[in-house]
Structure 1
Amino acid sequence: MSEKKGFFSKLVSGLAKTRDNIISGIDSIFSGFSNIDEDFYEELEEILIMADLGINTTTAIIEELQKKVKEQKIKEPKDCKDLLIRSIKDQLQVDEHLYDFENKKSVVLLIGVNGVGKTTSVGKLAGQLKDMNKKVMVAAADTFRAAAIEQLTEWANRAKVDIIAQNEGSDPAAVIYDAVTAAKARNTDVLLCDTAGRLHNKKNLMEELRKIDRVIDREYPDAYRENLVVVDGTTGQNALAQARQFSEVTDVTGIILTKLDGTAKGGIAIAIQAELGIPVKYIGIGESIDDLQKFDSDEFVNALFDENSNK
């Protein structure tokens, strides 16, 4: 429990810039307007868009809020805050089976552009799954970035898990083939695969992902599959665009949102989930292994509004 509480405190701290963007504006609206009218909703809309919730998500939240205000016959702007928080949380409701891969023979691909924290996320997940007494293996299929194999090897050693790697410049699909073969032979529970992160709009990278998919489908058809797109929370709407582009070429089952500490764009977590219908499964707010945690939508929105009293 203390670890969870510690993460919530870090989350509150990490979302400070986003919160400053939202809360100061929202509080001034709730206290500054004497009644709920079109101007009130327009001001609210502007603040949510500024926090990178995106136009579509913001529109959905405002429409839901208007509906609740009407149904509950609310007249005072100050009485809207809890309704607003509820409306935002409603955009983040997710399936309870999000983490089924933990308890099945699984192959998990982490994909995304360079610099978003893919390799680090593979290492952190490996350590956490190992702590759950799972037999874990990692595959170094990012063979194009010079330091990626070395970096993942360090994480594998730290987490005390097996690693399958070839030389820099090797065919990533060949690395995945070796890893799948080894995972089956060693009765591995979860195979975590790092992949190359050259520009997401490059045709050859997307072809490479398709080739990797075909290898896994052919060699390990019974494996439970997860394709997690890693995006950098500090990039805001660009993170949404990246997630969308990857979802067009592969079956994306979830998002890992990194670097939420110190960004003013934390609202992007809400936008990604609401606009793409792809759940944010993990968020990262720091460098240590425990700073990547499962995404809890209630906890996230509470931290966004600093609703500590709800915890």
Structure 2
Amino acid sequence: MSEDKPGWFGRLFGRKGSQPADQPADQPVEPPIDSPASPAEGQPDFATGADAVEQVPLPPSEPDPDESDRNAVPDAIEGADLQPIAGEPERPPAGTAGDDPARGAEPADETELAREPVIEPPPVQPVDVAAALAHDAAAEPQREAKGWWGRLTSGMKRTSSALSERVTGLFTKRKLDANTLEDLEDALIQADFGVETATRISEAVGKGRYEKGISPDEVRAILATEVERALDPVAHPLVIDTARKPFVILCVGVNGAGKTTTLGKLSLKFKAEGRSVMLAAGDTFRAAAIDQLKVWGARTGTPVISGAQGADAAGLAFDALKQAQAAGTDVLLIDTAGRLQNKAGLMAELEKIIRVIRKVDPEAPHATLLVLDATVGQNALSQVELFSQAAPVSGLVMTKLDGTARGGILVALAAKFGLPVHFIGVGESVEDLEPFAARDFARAIAGLEKG
């Protein structure tokens, strides 16, 4: 192979081989027949190309073979696992452009993209739930003084307004026929009165008035009469048996139904009646529930038996009952953790509480109140059914009637279970929880004046 012919690197850098003297410049050079393939036809000629390429200096990051002392590793640290020292500035690796002991580490590259700043989260501060509840109670605006009837009609406004609008639209300038009665029944079912009660009210409205005109006021009067008839058998006040000391009241229900608040309000009512009361913070799963009950105890001067969060609720109920007996307390109110009615494990814990307190008093609890949230609608029916299987539910407390347009659920519960309804709640204030009266409730839900 001719030394003048450029190799692969030669052609890469643009070098041209010299033409033979006996060959014209415009005639292509033909390779010998026996010679190997040219670089263009086969593999590049690295041997000749390497000789022809000019020496390129090594980049700064590569060690210089001619300066072995500079690249040598001292014997003292050879083979050591070199790691940066905590708190010391990190130096560039040996052999780099920044490896100058006098200069120190290389400055940061200002052209590098700015990184997201690391924001340290603020330390988590414990929430003083008791102080927050007390502050909310003190900051609550003073409401206009009015009696229970005024608070009841105001709280039932959503349900009564929805019914009045439907009734007015159905019976204004319209004869009473099958279609009208069917529409009335649908409106009552949408208000959660239940199919049985809705059918009975529709039949009462149509009785003797078929194909005749009827005013919306007449329909509301019939509605109030039928609702009162359905609720009157279950309107029973909670009676405290003074022969049983303490009279143990167990409060059960799902999460958020208002059990703790209900017990706080009941403690105020019993104290106003001259009874001694003790509270047991049996909702040991929520620290907020324990603090909330302590706030109610501080407001009323009522002792509160509590434990640490996560403590055994059954054991706490046992201790509370023993202390209430020793103190001669009239009423012991036991709070429990909220639990879903379809969770067998949680319902089993409720059964355990009852078994444990019956070791102290075989007849306890003397009353078991199931607190229901009116806003859950038809789901309240399954709550009553399943809680009654786990605990001896003796009565109902219906809360949050002011937050729904489906207050007819109380009528459906009365028709299906017949359990006593002791109290209803239409607000957050203490005076917004009152004993249940069927007539007042029926006229309030129908949008009528107190009769």
Question: TM-score under structure 2 normalisation?
Answer: 0.63
8 Å Cα contact 1:102-1:190 kept in structure 2? no
22-31 vs 121-130, greater mean Cα deviation? 22-31
8 Å Cα contact 1:272-1:280 kept in structure 2? no
Q: Using the TM superposition, give the Cα deviation of residue 73 of structure 1 relative to its aligned residue in structure 2, in angstroms.
A: 9.4
296-305 vs 268-277, greater mean Cα deviation? 268-277
8 Å Cα contact 2:284-2:313 kept in structure 1? yes
Show the counterpart of 1:141: 282
Gapped runs of 5+ residues in structure 2? 1-143
In the alignment, does 2:197 pair up with 1:57?
yes
In the alignment, does 2:378 pair up with 1:241?
no
Show the counterpart of 1:83: 222
Q: What secondary structure, in the 3-state scheme, does the structure 2 residue paired with 1:191 have?
A: strand
Structure holding more strand per residue: 1
2: CA distance, partners of 1:119 / 1:259: 14
Q: Using the TM superposition, give the Cα deviation of residue 102 of structure 1 relative to its aligned residue in structure 2, in angstroms.
A: 6.0
Change (3 A) 1:5 1:221: farther
Q: CA deviation digits over 1:168-202, x for unaligned, max 9?
A: 11111101101111111111111111001132211
Q: What secondary structure, in the 3-state scheme, does the structure 1 residue paired with 2:367 have?
A: strand
Q: Using the TM superposition, give the Cα deviation of residue 243 of structure 1 relative to its aligned residue in structure 2, in angstroms.
A: 2.2
246-255 vs 23-32, greater mean Cα deviation? 23-32
Q: What secondary structure, in the 3-state scheme, does the structure 2 residue paired with 1:154 have?
A: helix
Change (3 A) 1:247 1:12: same
8 Å Cα contact 2:161-2:447 kept in structure 1? no
2: CA distance, partners of 1:306 / 1:227: 32
Give the aligned CA root-mean-square deviation in angstroms.
Answer: 2.4
1: CA distance, partners of 2:365 / 2:309: 28
In the alignment, does 2:368 pair up with 1:227?
yes
Show the counterpart of 1:278: 419
Alignment of 1:1-311 (within 5 A): 6-35=147-176, 37-63=177-203, 69-70=207-208, 76-78=213-215, 79-94=218-233, 98-101=237-240, 103-105=242-244, 106-223=247-364, 225-310=366-451
8 Å Cα contact 1:236-1:265 kept in structure 2? yes
Larger radius of gyration: 2
8 Å Cα contact 1:14-1:263 kept in structure 2? no
8 Å Cα contact 1:65-1:87 kept in structure 2? no
8 Å Cα contact 2:156-2:426 kept in structure 1? no
Amino acid at match of 2:348: E
Q: What secondary structure, in the 3-state scheme, does the structure 2 residue paired with 1:219 have?
A: coil
Amino acid at match of 1:47: A
2: CA distance, partners of 1:247 / 1:63: 32
174-183 vs 20-29, greater mean Cα deviation? 20-29
Q: CA deviation digits over 1:76-119, x for unaligned, max 9?
A: 43344423321111110136754222645311111011111111
Runs of 4+ more than 4 Å apart: 63-66, 72-76
Q: What secondary structure, in the 3-state scheme, does the structure 1 residue paired with 2:424 have?
A: strand
1: CA distance, partners of 2:346 / 2:298: 28
Q: Using the TM superposition, give the Cα deviation of residue 60 of structure 1 relative to its aligned residue in structure 2, in angstroms.
A: 3.8
Show the counterpart of 2:123: none
Change (3 A) 1:287 1:96: closer
Number of matched pairs: 304
8 Å Cα contact 2:236-2:420 kept in structure 1? no
Structure holding more helix per residue: 1
2: CA distance, partners of 1:278 / 1:48: 22
8 Å Cα contact 2:220-2:447 kept in structure 1? no
Q: Using the TM superposition, give the Cα deviation of residue 74 of structure 1 relative to its aligned residue in structure 2, in angstroms.
A: 10
Identity of aligned residues (%): 41
Change (3 A) 1:308 1:80: closer
1: CA distance, partners of 2:236 / 2:440: 19
2: CA distance, partners of 1:161 / 1:100: 20
1: CA distance, partners of 2:224 / 2:385: 26
8 Å Cα contact 2:250-2:369 kept in structure 1? yes
Change (3 A) 1:62 1:275: farther
Change (3 A) 1:223 1:158: same
Q: Using the TM superposition, give the Cα deviation of residue 261 of structure 1 relative to its aligned residue in structure 2, in angstroms.
A: 1.4
8 Å Cα contact 1:101-1:224 kept in structure 2? no
Gapped runs of 5+ residues in structure 1? none
